[in-house]
Chains A and B, each alone.
Chain A
C-alpha cells in the first residue's frame, strides 16, 4: 500500500484503468468464451445429430436393398464432405458393420460404445487418447422395426480450434482495448496532472510566499487588489480541477490580501510595541509584571540590567532565581498579598541585593492588574531608586543638626572666649613680673601660648558656627591654605606626617569666604592625615591658570587611598570609611557644597599616579595615595550663572 501511495498520479490512473479494463475484459472474455464454446459445442452436437439423422434416413433405402456400395459411398461422401467428421459407419440390426469409413481395420470397441436401443439419436463422447470425438448413434427405424444404426463421429478438434481462435480474438481485442484505454488514460491523466502540476506550482509559490497565480519571481509585484482584479478578468472555464485551481488561486490571493493587511497591522503593532517597550525601558524605574504564579511576564531594561541578566532569561522565572532567599521571600509574599487581596503596596526599602555596591533605597509600588472579568491576573511593580533623595533627606537632617550644634558651639565659644581672654591677659601681666629667664616666666609663656591656642580654637569654632553668616570677599588663595597648614602642622608632626607646599608665587586673589575655604582645606588635610597610617607625606600645590582664569589646588597624600567602588560616593553626605564615633562622613560633603558654592569643582583621584609621587617628592614606597583637585574661578561667579554640572 505504501508503494502504491508513492506512485505518480498518472501511473495510478493507468494501473486503475488497466485493472478495470483487464478485469472487465477477463470476465467478459470468460463468459463469452464459455457461452460461445457452449453454443459451438451445442451447434456441433446438433449438426452431428442432423448428419447422423440424415444419414440414417438416406441409408434406409440402400439398407433395405442391401446396397452396400451405396451405403459405403454414402458414409465416405459424408466423411469427405466435412473435415470434422472422423468416421461414419452403418450397422445392421444385428450390429454388423455393413459400411464404414475405416477401410479394412475397424476399431472393435467402437461398435459397442454407443448402443442405445431407443428411437432417439444417442450421443456419447469418445476419448481415443489423442482426441475427443462426439459419437452420434442414429437408429434406422422404419415403422417400429429397427433396421440398423448409423454412427457418425464428429471431431471436437475443429470446435476447440474455433474456441481457441475465439480466445485469441478476444485476447487480441482485449489487448487492443487495453492499449487504447492506457493511451486514453495516459492522455487523460496527463491533462489531469498538468492541471494538478499547475496547482502544485501555485502551492509551491504560496510556500515561497508568492501568492496567487501568474506572478513569476522576476515579475514586479503589483498590489494585491490589482492582481485580484486581473485574476478575476483572466478566469477560464474548465473542469473541476481547473475550477479547483482557480479557487485555490483566489484563496491564495485572498490570503495574500489578508497577509498584507496582517503585515500592516503587524507593523503597527510592532511599532506600538517598540514604542511601549522603549517607554518602559527608558524609564529609570524598575518595572515588572508578575503573573498569577509569581513568574515574571515582563521586565524593563533597567531591572534586568540591575539583576545582571537578560529579559529572555528572566521571563517565566520567579524572584527565587535572582534574589537571596530572604529577599525573594519578602518580594514574593508581597506579590502574593497583592494577588490575593488586591491591595496596593507602597513602601520604601533599602536594598542590599548587591553586597559589593553601596546600598540603595527604593520606593516600590505593587498594584494588582485586573482582567476584563475583574479577576486579578498579575502584579505590576515599579521600583524607583530614591537613594539620592534619601541622601538629601539625611543631609538635610544632618544640616539641621549641625546648625543646632554650630549654634550651641558658637554660644559656648563665646562664653569661653571671655575667660580665655582674662587668662591670657593675666598670663601676660604675670610675665612682666618675672624675669624672662625665670622658670615661672617660662611657664607663664607656655600658659599664654596654650591660651592663645585655645582662643584660636574658640575663634575657629566661632567661625564655623558663623558659617552661614560668612561673606565672600577678595582673599589670598595661598594664604588661606598656609593658615590651615600652619594650624595643623603641629598635629601632623606628631602623627609623623610630612607636609610640603608648592604654592604659586603669584598669590592669586579669589572672591571667596576665607573661613569656609579654610574648613575645606582642613577637611582635606584631616582626611589625608587619617589616611596615612604611620609615616607618610602630604603635598599641596597651587597653580594659577590665567588662560581659564582659574586657580587649582592639589592635595596629594600617600595614604591608603580610596577603593575604586567608593570613589564616586565619597562626596555623599555621611559617607565615611571611618569607624563609628570617629567621623560623621560630613567633611567631604560639606567641602563639596562649599566649593560648589564658590562656583568651583572638586574631584578625587586614587591611587596617586607614580609620576606625581616623584614630582611632589613624596615617599614612593608608601600607600597608593589620594589626590584631591580643587578648581576655583578667579572671578566670582553667581549661583544663577553657574549652570555647569559639577564634574566628579
Chain B
C-alpha cells in the first residue's frame, strides 16, 4: 500500500496544479454572437444643422477641443443646432465656405479676405489671449543657432512655414521679409508643414529638431507646444506687425437672423463669467467683438504687396 510520505506530496502537488489551473483562471466575459444575422449598413447622413468650421491650423482634435464648448454654448444660447465640421486644409475650408457647406467660418484674416471675395461676410472677431484684438506672426529658430540673429541672417537659410495660406504662419512673416528686402528667392528652401492639421506645431517641431533653420508661426503657438518641446531652446528672431485677429464670417446667403443670434451670443460672452471664461480660454481667445469687413483692409494690402492675388487666383481659381 502507498504510504503517507508518498501520497501527501503527490496530493499537495495535485491540489497546487488544480488551484493553478482552475483557481487562477482569468475572469472572462463570454458572449455568444450569431454572426449570420447581418444587416446592410447605410452611410449615416449628418443631421441638418448649422455648420461651424475652424480653419484647420491645428489638428481636428485640437480644433474640436478648442471650439466644442463654444459651439455647445452657442447652440444652447441661440437654440440652433450647430455642428462643427472639419475641413482638412485651408483650401478645403475656403471651398466649403464657397460651396455653402460651412455656414459659419472661423478663419484667419488671409483666408477671410479670400472667402469674402465669394460673398462671406465677417460679423465678429476675437480678442487674442494677449488681450489684443490683433495677432502677429513670429519667426523662430533654435536658440543655439548662432548664425541667425536677425532677419538678414535668414538669407540663404531653410525656412519652414505653416501653410501658403497661413496668415501668422507664413504670409505675415513673408510680408516682414519683403519689408526688409528679402524675397522668397533669398532662401535656400521654403517648405510648408505637411498634413491636414497640426501645421503650426509641426513647423515649431521641425525647427526644434534642427531640420530647418527658421520657422514662421502664429503668435501663441509656442504656448500650445510648450508641453511637447522645451520652448526655452527656441528663440524668436522677429515678430510681424499686428494684424486683426481671427474672424467669424457667415457664408453668403446665411439667414441674417441666424447671424444676429450667433453674434449676440458671442458678444455676450465675458471673461468675467467663469464658465464663459473657461469656454473662451479653451477656444484660445479672451472675447469676441463685432467686426466689419473693412477691418481687414490692412490684410488685403499686405496680400496685395505680396502679390497673393495671383496666388489665390491660381489656387482658388476664382479670381
Contacts and interface: CB of A to CB of B under 8 A. Distances in A.
Contact of B38 (A34, A105, A132): A105
A549 interface: no
A157 to B, nearest CB: 15
B34 A106 contact: no
A100 B41 contact: yes
A41 B25 CA distance: 12
A109 B37 contact: yes
> Which range holds the interface residue count of chain A?
35 or more
Nearest to A45: B26
B261 interface: no
A117 to B, nearest CB: 16
Contacts of B41: 97, 100, 104, 106
B33 A142 contact: no
Contact of A109 (B34, B43, B86): B34
Nearest to A41: B26
A275 interface: no
Contacts of B40: 104-106
Given A38-B26, A106-B41, A143-B65, A129 B60 contact: no
Contacts of A61: 59-61, 86, 196-197
Interface string B20-53: 1100001011111111111111011010000000
A27 B196 contact: no
A142 B30 CA distance: 30
Given A31-B20, A104-B41, A113 B13 contact: no
A377 interface: no
B68 A143 contact: yes
A454 interface: no
Nearest to A124: B29
Contact of A124 (B30, B64, B68): B30
A64 B64 contact: yes
Nearest to A145: B68
A108 B36 CA distance: 9
B45 to A, nearest CB: 10
A125 B87 contact: no
Contacts of A27: 13, 17
A94 B88 CA distance: 24
B85 interface: yes
Interface in A56-85: 60-61, 64-68
Q: Of B20, B31, B36, B37, which is in contact with the most chain A CB atoms at under 10 Å from its CB?
A: B31
A27 to B, nearest CB: 7
A600 to B, nearest CB: 98
A60 B38 CA distance: 27
A107 interface: yes
B108 interface: no
Contact of A64 (B13, B26, B32, B84): B84
B263 interface: no
Nearest to A134: B28
B21 A30 contact: yes
Given A65-B85, A106-B41, A30 B17 contact: yes
Contacts of B61: 60-61, 64, 142
A630 to B, nearest CB: 98
Interface string A475-488: 00000000000000
A98 B44 contact: yes
A132 B86 contact: no
A177 interface: no
A129 B32 contact: yes
B34 to A, nearest CB: 6
B31 A127 contact: yes
Nearest to B14: A27
Contact of B34 (A30, A38, A102, A107): A107
Contacts of B28: 125
Nearest to B92: A65
Contacts of B60: 60-61, 64-65
Given A34-B21, A105-B39, A142-B64, A64 B31 contact: no
A123 B197 CA distance: 32
A149 to B, nearest CB: 14
A96 interface: yes
B200 interface: no
B39 A124 contact: no
A110 interface: yes
Interface string A123-161: 111111100100100000011010000000000000000
B53 to A, nearest CB: 10
A78 B307 CA distance: 45
A64 B86 contact: yes
A154 B38 CA distance: 20
A31 B86 CA distance: 54
Contacts of A65: 60, 85-88
A106 B32 contact: no
A27 B18 CA distance: 11
B303 interface: no
B216 interface: no
B207 to A, nearest CB: 24
Interface string B78-113: 000000111110000000000000000000000000
Interface of B: 13, 17, 20-21, 26, 28-41, 43-44, 46, 59-61, 63-65, 68-69, 84-88, 196-197
26 contacts: A27-B17, A31-B20, A41-B26, A61-B59, A61-B196, A65-B60, A97-B41, A98-B43, A98-B44, A104-B41, A105-B40, A106-B39, A107-B33, A107-B36, A107-B37, A108-B39, A109-B34, A124-B30, A125-B30, A125-B31, A126-B30, A126-B32, A126-B33, A127-B30, A128-B34, A135-B31
Given A61-B197, A98-B44, 10 more contacts: A34-B21, A61-B59, A66-B85, A94-B44, A97-B41, A109-B33, A126-B30, A142-B65, A142-B68, A145-B68
| 6 cross-chain pairs, A with B, having the tightest CB-CB distances, nearest first | A105-B38, A65-B86, A61-B60, A64-B60, A113-B31, A107-B35
